[in-house]
Amino acid sequence: MKKIKIFISAIILGISPLLAQNNAEDKGFEISKNLEIFSSVYKNIHLNYVDDIEPGKLMTTAINAMLSSLDPYTNYIPESNIEDVKLQLMGQYGGIGSLIHQKGNFVYIAEPYEGLPADKVGLKPGDKILEIDGEDAEGRTTPEVSDRLRGQAGSKVKIKVERNGKVLEKTIVREEIKLKPVPYYGFVGNTDYGYIKLTEFTQNAAKEVGTALNKLKSQNSNIKGVILDLRGNGGGLLNEAVDIVNLFVPKSELVVQTKGKVVAKNTKHYTRNNPMDTEIPVVVLIDGYSASASEIVSGSLQDLDRAVIIGSRSFGKGLVQNILPLTYNSQMKVTVSKYYIPSGRCIQALDYSHKDENGKATKVPDSLKTAFKTRNGRTVYDGFGIEPDIEIQDSLVADITIALMRNFLVFDYATEFVNKHESILPAGEFEITDEIYNDFKEFLKDKKYEYFTSTERALKLLREAAKEDKYIAAISDNIDELEKKIHSDKSIDLEKNKKEISELLKAEILSRYYYEKGRIEGTLKTDPEIIEAISILSDSARYNKILNKGKK
């Protein structure tokens, strides 16, 4: 307990300079009082609680509970999780280089990354992990298996897997896994429009995007436009976002500024380099999973009228985090400021300083949203993410499709397909033919994938309400009849949703032969946002009208 008191005293001494500022005496007393209370509670739990406690685990729980009352992005990072932070920020970690997923009581190899250790030793999607370094893997969760597979670069891990009924043993030398922020770039179909997919804003992301753009321009000197795909990109390093904007706008342009409690730390981020191309038409694709740095790029290019934004409204994360070092090699990630893009707007959608009765952050109400102007005079708003210039709502996924994915039946069929087909057409040419789709339906005949449609769920609620209101005797037969008809119609759901399911099948099969690059390339020509982007880029008058060019 003496160590705890010294630790608490050190905290108090460490914050004493802060207490000399505004309301120093009141805040200082409040902090000191509550730290003493916390120390007393911790001491009494240790001395009096009926069972033995794990001090580290208990303290981590307390810290996490405290930080969770602030926002989801302010986190405590124990030394054991430092590798995860390294992955988020740097896009690298020590491991075997493969996605994994859990099905039933086992974890499976889902997708080895091309050219990395798992791929080098011949691990395949669908391999069931039986043992790791001699320890039984049955019953292990995905995080537990992931922890065992990760480790220092250069170290070895032995795993035993089952494939097609055969047991295989592999010794894998771990490497420093560096994920590519740009997994694919190329020209869309037979057009002169380039496409660049950016999955995360890790270190060197801007360099990778610049390299991709350079190669596209060298491959086709008549390139007429570029599509930057930020869909599903949850963000990352702010400086990489600024440098990506810099590829398309001149040097010394304000891209983003941060404002927080510590005024001395407020910063303005300007483009620092000569641009690569300030004239080429640009379309940026976003969706509800595009957040943070993705919103800085799309929002800044929108505010500067440098790109047309297509897709659905972005996530709305306008908060900036810093990672601060703590004692014993631990760290904490703290929200220190909000960011504001060139028009002056902040796109933060949730107000974590005001929460409802359930403890959930409230959305910024429409009445408090403020209008801002882009460089060319277009009206944009703060408080709810980046609103695209052309909105394309995501279509709802069918219940049967969700059931097939949830039960890994698309994944399992792809595994079986690869066993029967040594090769397929190039990624840009491969399609799910009627023959393949009929084979998939045959594959499903003895598989379980129960699901309930929205109509079935509504009927269930109706039945329950009718029982409560004592109408069930009068309408029970009608409900039964409707349920029978719906169940009968479900038998043809595979045909009704053939197009949607075929796209998923195609993507999964392509990944087995051509990795992530193939998965992306093969789905571009049927992608609604890509089709709309090409339409915009091929119509300069429409493109310029959207950006209000010539009207400032």
Residue 35: its pLDDT value, please? 87
* Reported pTM: 0.84
Q: Which band of pLDDT confidence, cut at 50, 70 and 90, is reported for residue 17? A: very low
Tens-place pLDDT, residues 144-198:
999 999 988 999 999 999 999 999 999 999 999 888 999 999 999 788 999 999 9
Six-digit token string for 460 = 């269930």
Cα separation, 361 vs 382, in Å, equals: 17
Q: Give the model confidence (pLDDT) of 458-505 as tens digits.
A: 877 888 887 887 778 878 878 777 767 666 556 688 999 999 999 999
Strands 308-311 and 282-286: parallel
pLDDT at 403: 93
Q: How many H-runs (helices) and E-runs (strands) does the chain carry?
A: 18, 23
Which of residues 46 and 508 earns the better pLDDT score?
A: 508
Quote the pLDDT of residue 264: 84
Q: Does residue 101 carry a pLDDT above 50?
A: yes
State how far the alpha carbon of 388 is from the alpha carbons of 279, 289, 302, in Å. 21, 13, 9
Q: pLDDT value at position 60?
A: 86
Give the tens place of pLDDT for each residue, 352-388: 877 777 778 777 777 778 999 999 999 999 988 999 9
**Range with lowest mean pLDDT among 23-37, 261-275, 294-308:** 23-37
Per-residue pLDDT, 91: 57
- Residue 550 zone, left/alpha/beta (φ > 0; ψ -120 to 50; rest): left
pLDDT attached to residue 11: 40
Residue (of 226, 223, 222) closest to 209 by Cα position:
226
Cα angle value 25/28/30 (rounded, 5°) = 110
Q: Annotated active-site positions, please? A: 292, 303, 317
Coil vs helix vs strand at 301: helix
Percent of the chain with pLDDT over 70: 91
pLDDT tier, 339 (very low <50, low <70, confident <90, very high otherwise): very high
Q: Give the 3-state DSSP-derived string for 334-349, with helices as H, strands as E and coil as C.
A: EEEEEEECCCCCCCCC
Q: At what angle do helices 205-219 and 238-246 cross, to 10 degrees?
A: 20
- The size of the chain, in residues, is 552
The runs of H, that is alpha helices, within 380-471 are 399-406, 409-420, 434-444, 454-468
pLDDT of residue 433: 97
The answer to whether residue 548 scores a pLDDT higher than 60 is yes
Average predicted confidence (pLDDT) for the chain? 88
pLDDT, greater one: 92 or 275: 275
271: its two tokens: 């483009």
Q: From CA 71, how far away is CA 358, in angstroms rounded?
A: 14
Instruction: State the number of CA atoms in the 13 A half-sphere of 12 facing the CB.
Output: 18
Q: Find the Cα–Cα–Cα–Cα dihedral 289, 295, 298, 300, rounded to 10°.
A: 170
Three-class DSSP category at 117 = helix
**CA dist., res. 73 & res. 136, Å (int):** 35
Stretch 23-52: mean pLDDT, rounded?
83
pLDDT for 15 beyond 50: no
The string of pLDDT tens digits covering residues 388-419 is 999 998 778 998 999 999 999 999 999 999 99
pLDDT at position 552? 52
**Residues in CB range of 43: below 8 A, 6 or more apart:** 1, 4
- Per-residue model confidence (pLDDT) at position 2: 42
Which residues make Cβ contacts (< 8 Å) with residue 287, sequence separation at least 6?
231, 232, 311, 312, 314, 394
pLDDT band at 9 (very low <50, low <70, confident <90, very high): very low
Measured CA angle at 335 (ends 330, 336), to 5 deg: 105
231, 289 in Cβ contact below 8 A?
yes
**If pLDDT is split at 50, 70 and 90, which confidence band does 127 have?**
very high
Residue 324, exposed/middle/buried by CB under 10 A (0-12, 13-18, 19+)?
A: exposed
What integer pLDDT is reported at residue 13 of this predicted model?
38
- Kind of pairing between the strands at 282-286 and 225-229: parallel
Long-range residue pairs from 371-375, CB within 8 A, at least 24 positions apart, any chain:
372/303, 372/343, 372/344, 372/345, 373/343, 374/302, 374/303, 374/304, 374/305, 374/343, 374/548, 375/303, 375/304, 375/305, 375/342, 375/552
Q: What angle do CA 488, 491, 496 make, to 5 degrees?
A: 115
